[in-house]
Structure 1
Amino acid sequence: MEDTPTPSTALTYLNPSYWDERFSKEEQYEWFKDYSHFRHLIQPHLTPHSAVLELGCGNSQMCEQLHKDGTTNITCIDLSPVAVQNMQKRLLSRGFKDIKVLQADMLELPFEDECFDLVIEKGTMDVLFVDSGDPWNPKPETIFKVMATLKGVHRVLKAGGTFISVTFGQPHFRRPIFNAPDFNWSVEWTTFGETFHYFVYVLKKGQRSSYDDIPPVKRFEASPINLLHEELESEDFAFRINVDELNY
């Protein structure tokens, strides 16, 4: 496969036709590192009997790695029909016949209530924020899409189920959204990486306490980012739009 060019602007990621064209040329790509880098953070929340939903699978190999770890009841969705078709073919060719891959919009999840033990996304929700404007006060249309996604995730999770979000989004921006009164999940987060860290949020449905209501933070001092760092040589840096400009 030929190399996939980095879009000239992050807004390109909002164009569905971009993804169809990209997936028609690109065989595999991992946003925010591959599963091996954060496996130790995911495994405690899984059992062999867990029903798992992956949002925005693209051409990632995460579902295959989860399956190899013993979790076989996996459903993957993506908005791109090209990504879905390619993923279906790839999984069948590698013997993963029980992983389901469906074309679906994460803003309108086509599943029954409380049918998954774990929902996971890696960089998929970050796409919703590329045109969000001021990160302290995102555009209404951004918040609408993010909340539609989170409400759908909350609905399809079983009681006691877990939503895991692997992202660039710092806690000052994500926790106020995750802690909206619409949800009764607890919110915890950790990081992985070496010089540069990615964030992993773990939200457990039905385990929210009053002290989980976190008010918005008024100020954030951003740490300097070296774009020559190995981990930022890929497209991942595109999702840091606006954040690097907050060091004032």
Structure 2
Amino acid sequence: MGGKKALMGMRDVSSCSTYNYGDALYWDTRYIQEAGPFDWYQRYSALRPFIHRYIPKSSPILMLGCGNAVMSEDMVKDGYEDIVNIDISSVVIDMMIKKYEHVPQLKYMQMDVRDMSFFFNDSFDSIIDKGTLDSLMCGTNAPISAAQMLGEVSRLLKPGGIYMLITYGDPSVRMPHLNQSKYGWKITLYIIPRPGFERPVGSSSKSIVEPVPLSESGLLLPSFVMEDPESHFIYVCRKTQEESFTPTNSAIENDVQ
């Protein structure tokens, strides 16, 4: 969507436009004006290695802020069996219900991610967020909205469950929200270039499916070089029973074995 495309170039909240991306009316209007499918940031094909690594195909999955993206459809074609898709816009949910009425693996519900009380605690093995937290961070009362959503995500995840956040936000602006003791999340970071980016000749051959080391404070190491300044960040947050988690290289390595 036009509004979503505007979000793609932002690196922090100060870059947000005056649109209220947390408001249902804004999105209802958008989806009426631009009804064609649109995927935030990355298509499923680019995210597939990460989703396969962390999310079993039989896992009950919640897709936050699904919009009219085809990612859930692509996941079903790839063998995923149970995806509940929610969005604040009743307009887009009505569209998607009609579009996928013959696909039993996909369910669509109108819901605000800041209040998902419809679901019981520990309802999902996996929760995927591709741009929804970013959207709230560009709305009014951003810190409060983010805390409300992340609190709900933590509540809905089963112990050992995965919250996968795909975002434009680097660790300096996302880790303060994610790395909180009340969630008890073990966090692994990946960085992938934007679609169409070509690596410069002679650049590092490091695979994008390798986790990125973080400092003890949860930031990128000073020596880390990001080849594409418009890269996207994938935070894999695993719900643990621990009270807190400090990202370390050893913890990151253990998480992907």
TM-score (norm 2): 0.72
Report the 3-state secondary structure (helix = DSSP H, G, I; strand = E; otherwise coil) of the residue aligned with 1:204.
Answer: strand
Confirm whether residue 150 of structure 1 aligns to residue 150 of structure 2. yes
Instruction: Pick the aligned partner of 1:96 from 77, 98, 103.
Output: 103
Report the 3-state secondary structure (helix = DSSP H, G, I; strand = E; otherwise coil) of the residue aligned with 1:32.
Answer: coil
For residues 67-95 of structure 1, the C-alpha deviation after alignment (integer angstroms, 9 at most, x for no partner) is 11111111000010001000111112xx4
Deviation for aligned residue 1:207: 6.1
> Aligned partners of 2:115 and 2:139: how far apart in 1?
20
Mark the runs of 5 or more structure 2 residues left unpaired by the alignment.
7-15, 198-227, 249-257
- Specify the alignment match of 1:244 in structure 2: none
**Which structure features the higher share of helix residues?**
1
Instruction: Pick the aligned partner of 2:55 from 46, 62, 65.
Output: 46
Mark the runs of 5 or more structure 1 residues left unpaired by the alignment.
133-140, 215-248
Confirm whether residue 11 of structure 1 aligns to residue 19 of structure 2. yes
For residues 167-189 of structure 1, the C-alpha deviation after alignment (integer angstroms, 9 at most, x for no partner) is 01110111121111211111111
Q: Is the 8 A contact 1:48 1:70 kept in 2?
A: yes
Paired AA for residue 166 in structure 1: I
Which structure has more relative contact order (CA 8 Å, sep 6+)? It is: 2
Change (3 A) 1:173 1:4: closer
- Specify the alignment match of 2:32 in structure 1: 24
What does 1:196-235 align with in structure 2 at a 5 Å threshold?
Answer: 196-206=230-240, 208=242, 212=246
> Aligned partners of 1:33 and 1:85: how far apart in 2?
24
Aligned residues: 202
Change (3 A) 1:19 1:207: same
What does 1:55-74 align with in structure 2 at a 5 Å threshold?
Answer: 55-74=64-83
Deviation for aligned residue 1:47: 1.6
> Aligned partners of 1:192 and 1:12: how far apart in 2?
27
Identity %, equivalent residues:
30
> Aligned partners of 1:183 and 1:12: how far apart in 2?
27
For residues 119-159 of structure 1, the C-alpha deviation after alignment (integer angstroms, 9 at most, x for no partner) is 00101110111257xxxxxxxx3221111111100111111
